[in-house]
Amino acid sequence: MTLQTVQNDASARGNFDAQLDQSIKAAADWLAERQKPEGYWVGRLESNACMEAQWILCLWFIGLEDHPLRPRLARSLRETQRADGSWEIYHDAPAGDINTTVEAYAALRSCGVAADDPQLVKARDWILSKGGLKNIRVFTRYWLALIGEWPWEKTPNLPPEVIHFPNWFIFSIYNFAQWARATLMPIAVLSARRPSRPLPPENRCDDLFPGGRDYFDYELPGKPGADFWDGFFRFTDKVLHRLQSVGRAAGLSFGRNGSVKRALEWIIEHQDADGVWGGIQPPWIYSTMALVNEGYALDHPVVAKALAALDDPRWRVDAGEATWIQASTSPVWDTVLTLLAYEDCDVNGDYPQEVERAVDWLLSQQVLRKGDWSVKLPNTAPGGWAFEYKNYFYPDTDDTAVALIVLAQFRSEQKWIDKGINRAISLGVDWLVAMQSQGGGWGAFDKDNDKKFLTKIPFCDFGEALDPPSVDVTAHIVEAFGKLGLGKEHPAMVRALDYLRREQEADGSWFGRWGVNYIYGAGAVLPALEAIGEDMSQPYIARAADFLVARQQDDGGWGESCGSYMDPSLSGRGKTTASQTAWALMGLIAAGRAQDRDAIERGLAFLFERQSAGTWNEPEYTGTGFPG
């Protein structure tokens, strides 16, 4: 090596470091400018057209067909239709989704859009080309039943009597995931009553029944790989429908009114402070319809609060003549990630007011009341954080873990000690320890919510109905314990590390439940292992780093499509994005291998090149609600 080469290397290193500093400064400034006055950060949570379509149909069903939101939501549907006539469930998906497309079609018809409208003609043709309505999911069938386009007796029966099942019983509502449980209760009420508000004759969806309604096969297709229990539950469903029909014909309730009453009480008890339910769209929309159908007036405080949330800018996004309703909101998550970024980049001192406001706000968001999680842990004190604004019933272990990672850096400062930071940390740690599942990992909202038997019920075809332990959540908790000085000898960590080792894929990666996907998993686990004091030279860690290096693309970045949830061969493959590149870099930096320096620098160069005005444009979906 010549002196000139050394000088050139030093010059390049200096330029690289300067570029890194500039990039960090621009991003940190961009974030500081977008902090809310209360101290938190929150970005838009994008989903799919089902959100807007279902609100259009809900407002029709409850008699608000003239609600000013309906044409704005319809505009959003028109703007997001694909060229082939379908609607997709994630950005740039390889194909449209039949359920989303049917719901969007029905919603636009309910708004009076003519069947021969060019956009609806394309949607209809696409639906029929994909096998038509016989291929739609259970929830889409419920929506069509609510507007008189599908017979209720051909939807899965969901008896409200489940509210009476004891907590230890296999079919207890508390054995379903948080999001499924909160949705199940209002649908059970609707299923018991079988209500519909038919569309006007001129707006019906006749074009989706080209052979005529009388000749259409409404039966729910069997699940792929169906076993004995699938058949058992389908038979049970038919029996329940028969009993319900006989009871209605004979004027017998079999105690059903009491079950509906108790289910409604449960729904009302679980409403969030901001008017929604569970911090997410499905229980919010179904609970609103169930209450109105049971005679609760639109100006009843519970219903009025639910409808008022539609006008809350924290939930809706207006753009021109269109409106989108978010599937959820993420202020706690976005705030802890921002604070974590500031700490990792060592810029807290440059933004003292922003950091102080954010930590104050974060401490105020700790959930100190018991929620549904306490059904299985009645003697555990609360201490978690939720993802959303006012979701007091459902704190989650993931937000709690990252909140603890953030708070760990401030726990020795007197001003934060005076504000109770150590008590907050202690409560959070104790809550997480209690929430650990038997296998050593953590689910998001409940302990041991993993009874796969329940997924055989016909109702459960909408995605994840359970909340079993996941690698990414477990990794964040391991990292939190490491940052707090609780080493890998801690009993909870011994079990957690064993779980993480067991869950590693053959290619060295880990499955990502709440982020896409194997890159997210590896990017979560490797920093956790480093934080807890694991020997980073172990072969299983090298395999994970090798996976990340092998998946780096020619432009220096990393990317992975949501399609990897359906096709594992797409693991770590897809259009490069800033967030997935950052996750991969976090993993490689934690692995600490000298041989990965070139890959790391190429990844950083990718981020430098893609940064614009301090941030990164990323239309691709890299967060996950329901895999698959």
Give the DSSP letter of residue 152. Answer: G
Please tell me the distance from the alpha carbon of residue 291 to that of residue 269, in angstroms, as a whole number. 13
Residue type, 164: H
Q: What is the pLDDT of residue 95?
A: 97
In this structure, the number of other CB atoms found within 10 A of the CB of residue 11 comes to 10
Please tell me the distance from the alpha carbon of residue 476 to that of residue 465, in angstroms, as a whole number. 23
Q: What is the pLDDT of residue 554?
A: 98
Greater pLDDT, 141 or 236: 141
- Block residue for tokens 């041991």: 448
The string of DSSP letters for 195-249 reads ---PPPGGGS-GGG-TT-GGG---PPPPPTT--HHHHHHHHHHHHHHHHHHHHHH
101 pLDDT more than 80:
yes
Q: What is the pLDDT of residue 558?
A: 99
Q: What is the pLDDT of residue 485?
A: 96
Q: What is the pLDDT of residue 220?
A: 84
Residue range 297-310, pLDDT digits in tens: 999 999 999 999 99
4 pLDDT more than 50:
no
* pLDDT tier at 621, thresholds 50, 70, 90: very high
Supply the mean pLDDT for the chain.
94
Catalytic, 217? Answer no
Query: Yes or no: is domain 50-325 CATH 1.50.10.20?
Result: yes
Q: What is the pLDDT of residue 459?
A: 75
Residue range 541-576, pLDDT digits in tens: 999 999 999 999 999 999 999 999 999 999 999 999
Burial of 153 (0-12, 13-18, 19+ CB in 10 A): middle
| Element of type H or E holding 31 | helix 3-33
The answer to whether 576 touches 626, Cβ cutoff 8 Å, is: no
* pLDDT tier at 595, thresholds 50, 70, 90: very high
Task: Check 97, 334, 398, 450 and give the catalytic one.
Answer: 398
Q: What is the pLDDT of residue 460?
A: 75
Residue range 236-278, pLDDT digits in tens: 666 666 666 665 666 645 678 999 999 999 999 999 999 999 9
The answer to whether 435 touches 511, Cβ cutoff 8 Å, is: no
Q: What is the pLDDT of residue 398?
A: 99
Q: What is the pTM of this model?
A: 0.94
Q: What is the pLDDT of residue 242?
A: 66
Listed residue (70, 136, 78, 72) closest to 104, CA to CA = 78
Each domain of the chain, given as residue ranges in start order, spans: 50-325
81 pLDDT more than 50:
yes
Q: What is the pLDDT of residue 13?
A: 58
Q: What is the pLDDT of residue 457?
A: 83
